[in-house]
Amino acid sequence: MNKRAWIYIIFLAIAATAVPAYAEDALACETQSVNFKKREYRCQLTANGLGRQISFKANFSGSHDDTQLSMNLNLDGLPVSCGKGSKTWLNGEDGDVSLECKFVLDGAKGTKKMLRATVNIYHAEFIGIKLSAL
């Protein structure tokens, strides 16, 4: 085999291993219940054995002085302790706003866990949620 073919094989091998650490596990939620005041979600998560950093974020538009927003999360039936930089409620902020809970998903690699989230809405337009690994 010539030198050029070897370089091509090495390049392909490097490219095949250069994927994000969590690419194999798409983070998605199923909508459980929706109305003007509350949205409920169920999200299956998979632990990686290293303390996976997770963010659940809800986005809103049209928030104003009498807007009230909050969210509650539980993991396998137990309350989630949101970490530094999280914001799980707001009252009276103007414009486009969001709530976010950052937490660590512990457990042995491959362990499945169920995240349940309830988003409470008063006087704002719900835009959507985003669940991601940080």
Cα end-to-end distance, the chain, whole Å: 42
Topology of domain 22-133, per CATH? Answer: Jelly Rolls (2.60.120)
98-132: per-residue pLDDT in tens?
A: 999 999 999 999 999 999 999 999 999 999 999 99
* Contacts (Cβ under 8 Å, ≥6 apart) of 75: 45, 103, 105, 113, 114, 115, 116
pTM as predicted: 0.79
Position 82 pLDDT exceeds 90: yes
Of the given ranges (1-5, 39-43, 68-72, 75-79), which has the lowest mean pLDDT? 1-5
Residue spans per domain, the chain: 22-133
